[in-house]
Structure 1
Amino acid sequence: MPGHNEDRTALFEVIPEHHCKPEQVARWRQGGETLTQILLQTQFDLDEILTCSYRMAIWRENNTLTYVTPYGSNDLPEQEFLTLKLREKGAILRITGRTHETISQTAAFFLNLMKPSKESALLAVDASNRCLDFRAAPSECLSRIFEAAQHVRFQNLQLSAQQSITLATRPHPVHLTFSNCELEDEGTAFVDYLEKRTQSFGTLRFINITGLNHDNLQRLLQLEMIERLCIHCLEDEGLLPFSTKAKYLDYDISSASLSKADLKSLQIVPNQLALSIEHEAEGFPTQSVVTLFRRITEMGHFEELKISFCFYDDYGYIPECVVQALVQAVIGNINLQVLDLSTNEGDLKWDSHVGALFQGLKDHIKLRSLKLSVHRAAFGPDFSDLRQLLSHNRSIFVTDEDGSIYSDGNLVDELYSLNRFVRCCTDLAVKPPSERLLLVAAALMGRALNEFQCSSLLLSEHADLLCEFVAQYIINRPDNVESSERNQVLSRD
């Protein structure tokens, strides 16, 4: 580490306190004032800053001051700032200045220092409060951030048409989030270049506003190269996002939009749908939600479904009739493989309905994953409700929002192990007869050896092979050979 410190020393020079102008003084909300440094180089390894373990401030000649906050610290500048989060567990840069133009130029300076990496976490360029005009940043710097990560968020920024073109033309699938962003031309250039793509764009997420005018939003919804489209409430045209040709729609819709819409004629194009119903009024919007679930039942083409209820105040619980309508919707979608009922803070919980859900969904043939965010007590005494479900449906997994199975660490684990064996037994049925015979024999001598339940389940799935085993044994057993020879002798006599 001595060499590392020497490199950092060679990179910075402290502005002497008696030479420091008022605008060069770093003023932290929690830590008061600190010394300010200037950069001695324009090309250097950005890790020298991102790995910094102490607070520091960097002054540039364009009259901007960049506050470097070490990973894990919550201290902030006193004035408004632009945030650069350029590494999952690295220092955060917060840039202050007199104008949006100079702040954007300094941000571009740091972004251009980024190197290609396999970073999987979210990187971000966020303005702290009001919308910051980011158009002075050359568009090339935006391509650099996507070389360092696949998931990037822009928040509270105004972007130019050329910048949006750069974002639309990344050569590989990305995860792009616009949060409260404004596009200079209301999205025309962005959609124009998305339409020219011949390969997948990846995930496009809008938080709150889209920045697109009505025509450009409609054009966007017709694009097939978007894998996943995430969009927030559209009050005026609440049902419009359902027409998207994206493979996966993640939509936050208000209960007010549902109540005003003609849900009986609703068409939802994607077969993968995540729907968060936001509700601000009193009571539960029972009628509109039940009508929506009935329409989902009628459409019947869904393969993945995520449902949550986001209530801004605690209005109690999910009505039983809503639960039953959801169960019918799942049953009506025979190809559904994933039902995600996991929740975030503020969402209504499903704990009191877990037993009813298990009972209603137990016979679904293709359902593989049921995600819940519930307490252990929701599964009944000693996980009895979960054990009953797993004994009845051997193809299903019940997990939390992160994909970890719910278990008591004992009987439930044994059931999952048994169910995996049963699924393997079933999969053998599609093998060629000669190969299947060998695999079943191997299973009998392996996992099923000395385990009556496993061996009986295995043979019940392959009764034809059992008959073949018995027939071969009868033909080839020693006493059968002797009786055959005896009969031959008697016949000659």
Structure 2
Amino acid sequence: MEFLQLIPQQQLSSEQNALLSLLTNEESSSEEGNHLPIYRFVQEPTHLQELLSCDRTKFCIWRDNQTIIVVELFYPRSINLPSTSWEITQSYRHGTRFLAIVGLNETAMAETATFVLSLQHSEPDLWSFDFDLDSVREDQLNRFLDANPQCVWEFRYQTWTVEQSIRLATRPGPLKIQLYTPSTNYGGFSFTDGGTAFVDALQQRTSSFESLCLHFNRRNSFTNENYVRLLQLEHAVEKLELYMFRPDPLLPFRAQVHCLNYRIDDYEIEKTHFETLPIVAKELTLSIHITSTENWSDSIVTFLDRVAQLGHFEHLRLAIDLWHKVDYTQVGWIAAAIVRVLKNNPNLVSLDLSENRYPLDYTPYLILLFRVMEGHPNLRTFRLNSEEMKVIHFAALKRLLFRNRKLTVVNRWDERVTDGTTIDQIYTLNRFYHGSKDLLVQHGCSTCRSRLTGTILMESATANFQRTALLLSDHADVLCELVNGSEDDALSPHDPRSIINPTPLKKKKLSPNSDVSCARRFVAPCGR
């Protein structure tokens, strides 16, 4: 379906030419001139991809309210914008998109900005914009914040007043925001009151604020007092991310949050600091920047031993950032500490060791880690850097997946680690295993399970001994029913003529939600 229609240059109105004249394209040729191609909507989109459906990487879209949407899909930017434009940046998994709203009327620009930011999209991306919150009405702000609750909204150019701080801190529903200041001493996000009203409002919430990220470089937008108050709030924030200048590097570990994402430099801490440190979060991401070259692993090992000692973690991600030559004896000490973490955190669901700067590599210790994971009761995802894996490591991975069928091993891009043959088959078998177990939970009654198990046996497991064995071991009671027949059949008199003239079975059309249709979806081949 076409959403955009090119407007020929000779058909441009004086208003369109006036706005286009405010833009210059540094990469345009002399034949093209400075004007970017401009389109109009054939029909108004509801999804972001529909707005981006043009086959060009730089273009404009005219709206009937006398505004232009400027789109540039790739970095670096080459379109020069007027100072009165509103810039919007979308950072997503595969790159960055730049959009801008150009117009002569701020009310119309607010309407167009709300329209763009409210378009549906499924990626958990980050949106940044440079216009002030006073430039949009409250209903417009609520509209685009509600449209995509999975998004993170970054404020890096605004100064929040007391009223705006209260407005955002008390807003009901899920909200993920990031407050940013650059590495320079000027510019970036700020509060007019040092964050007092924001912290006060968070303290009054009856439900947790979903996600708050503080990315402060040289300047903390909170006063020291308000920063300490923020970290001492009890369960006011669900997820807290800190990349910032701070007065106390250990204070964030004590924050009363469910999820903590924190970056710290090794020169800020001593290994003894972690020995009795209370860490409240159950989901923890720690990025450590290593500057020392001697005994650089000491603080990491002490931290991991504290994680092992506490034993309450559900998700753990450790990223080590270093540039110097690595002594692999020290990497071995870290690997041994990770083993202790696995053994002492039975509720751990995911472990992520994928984000490490070269030359740090856990590959020499993967066999050790795989062996410990074989008996872990709840581990579901192990994320690693798999680029250096050899045949011996894939052999250990096969053993792991056979012994812990609930586990999936992925790389840093969340792709399953596989040898392309046998391991794929193991994952398919493990999926069958999960589906068989799920029948007990989702279809507890024996009648439903009897129908489903019979269908699965006939359509998927008959020619596969492993699948048949898995299915029947989980549903031995159903096997007895299939062999002995139902209670009614056992009590009804036997008719010998049925052997000579059996009644033909009638095929019945299945509805998409029938038990047997569910079974067929369950036995479908597993995609990568």
TM-score, normalised to structure 1's length? 0.73
Unaligned regions of 5+ residues in structure 2, if any? 37-43, 182-188, 491-528
8 A Cα contact 2:317 2:353, kept in partner: yes
Partner of 2:525: none
8 A Cα contact 1:84 1:126, kept in partner: yes
Say whether residues 1:255 and 2:266 are aligned partners.
yes
Q: Which amino acid aligns with 2:15?
A: F
Say whether residues 1:84 and 2:91 are aligned partners.
no
Say whether residues 1:205 and 2:206 are aligned partners.
no
> Of residues 377, 381, 386 in structure 1, which corresponds to 2:397?
386
What are the within-5 Å matches in structure 2 for residues 482-493 of structure 1?
A: none
Say whether residues 1:369 and 2:381 are aligned partners.
yes
Cα deviation digits, residues 333-386 of structure 1 (max 9, x gap) = 0111111122166683433332222123222121111111221x4153482121
What are the within-5 Å matches in structure 2 for residues 52-451 of structure 1?
A: 54=58, 68-72=70-74, 74-77=77-80, 83-85=87-89, 92-93=99-100, 111=113, 114=116, 116-121=118-123, 122=125, 124-125=127-128, 137=135, 140=138, 142-143=141-142, 145-150=144-149, 151=151, 152-180=153-181, 181-209=189-217, 210-221=220-231, 222-233=233-244, 236-259=247-270, 262-283=273-294, 285-311=296-322, 315=326, 319-343=331-355, 348-375=360-387, 377-381=388-392, 383-426=394-437, 434=446, 438=450, 444-451=457-464
Partner of 1:83, secondary structure, is: strand
Distance 1:453 1:112 in 2: 55
Partner of 2:279, secondary structure, is: coil
Distance 1:467 1:72, change over 3 A: closer
Distance 1:272 1:4, change over 3 A: same
Q: Which amino acid aligns with 1:421?
A: F
8 A Cα contact 2:326 2:359, kept in partner: no
Distance 1:183 1:223, change over 3 A: farther
- Cα offset, 1:326, TM superposition: 0.9
Cα deviation digits, residues 403-452 of structure 1 (max 9, x gap) = 32112222111111222333444556678684598366665555432433
8 A Cα contact 2:305 2:337, kept in partner: yes
Distance 2:481 2:296 in 1: 60
Partner of 1:12: 15
Larger Cα-atom Rg:
1
Distance 2:195 2:337 in 1: 39
Distance 1:87 1:374, change over 3 A: closer
Partner of 2:461, secondary structure, is: coil
Unaligned regions of 5+ residues in structure 1, if any? 18-23, 38-44, 59-64, 97-101, 128-132, 477-493
Q: Aligned residue pairs: how many?
A: 445
Distance 1:426 1:3 in 2: 49
Partner of 1:265, secondary structure, is: coil
Distance 2:406 2:91 in 1: 39
Partner of 1:294, secondary structure, is: helix
Distance 1:83 1:346, change over 3 A: farther
Distance 1:258 1:471 in 2: 69
